[in-house]
Amino acid sequence: MMASNGIYVLTAPGAPPSVPSVPRALTVAQPATAPPASFFDTTSSTVAGFASVCGLLVAVGSAARRGIGHRRQSSRVQLRGASRAPFKEPVNFRAKPGDKYTYRCPQDFNTPEFGHWPPEAPDRVVKYGQVHFKGNPTGETEFYAKKAGKKQMDKDRLTGNSNDSRGALLLDCDGTIVETERDGHRVAFNQAFKKLGYDCEWEVGLYGELLTTGGGKERMTRYFTDYNPEAWPHEEPAAKDNPKIMELHELKTKLFMEIVRSGQLPLREGIEDLITDAFANGWKVGVCSTSNEQAVRAVVETLLPEFAPEIPIFAGDIVSAKKPDPEIYNLASKEMGVAPMTCVVIEDASIGCRAAKAAGMQVIVTKSIYTEGEDFTGADEIVSSAAEIDFEEDVVPMLPMLQMS
């Protein structure tokens, strides 16, 4: 029988249940037991235990990973970004300018250190669309100087204290960038006449007279109409859209490009320095010519290879009317996104000067072999060569300045 205190007591048969009749040693102590737990209490206890074990395992794993990461960082700087390049080149990581611990993979091999696209390295070599030599870095000092200057200019624009005058420098090609007329175009015209069986030859003096007409096809049309009709062997009259004239001009362009790429025609004095100063001051530079676009592009790519990717070319039949019509300069202004009043044009001929002034632009004339005696009325400045032009003193002041009231 169990008493109220949880102790079992043995009693004799017939004895009152409340009086124990057994020795003290026969009593057995039993622990107190709680009522049986429900099913949900048992499940909660199991989940809690499992969660504790999982937490312990996560903590151990995190500690192990931290230890491995610490050992890796102690041996080398941890690289960021892609670890493989898509082409078969050695993977050489290098830091970005001004960012000590940021690295980039060699997909940027076209861009020199401390430069920006297009690359600025003067000795960069590109052949057949492939970079053969990336070029030497522009330099840390120059990079940060440009960066600081740009920030200051942006600040000046916001505060209205800007004295920065940015515009566009537009250059004619033939006679301005290079003396192509006498020893380039004239020679190519005569070679084309000879190869196609035309009995004519343009002398130096005669070609100077024909230069008052803009455009090679128009020039030949004028010659075969006004100067030497007997030399035109075809029934249909000479015209710029005549297939025979177009055939002559196509051959002449091919021959001219061969002359240019041979290196026989050097740049005119001061042109390279003028273009360099324009780009250094944040100006846009373009070429506007009445010559064939392929011929002009050959001149720029051969004689100004470091600037060629940044110089748009407006030439040939891209416009319906050629100089002295201002259409070519109006098109350049629109396509380059600059106002005509902020454009300074370098020309060598009267027809080019009149075209630029009609477009509302400023004009500096650099006289060439054939244009020394022409009338340059309306030109803002007339010099013998671009070497006499100082960009800061002569070109920049030509732009209108906005005064804040």
Given 154, 164, 174, 325, the catalytic residue: 174
C-alpha closest to that of 135 among 154, 161, 153, 109:
109
C-alpha closest to that of 185 among 109, 265, 120:
265
Given 108, 156, 164, 172, the catalytic residue: 172
Q: Indicate if 348 belongs to the active site.
A: no
Q: Indicate if 41 belongs to the active site.
A: no
Question: Considering just the CA atoms, what is the radius of gyration of the chain in Å?
Answer: 44
Residue numbers annotated as active site: 172, 174
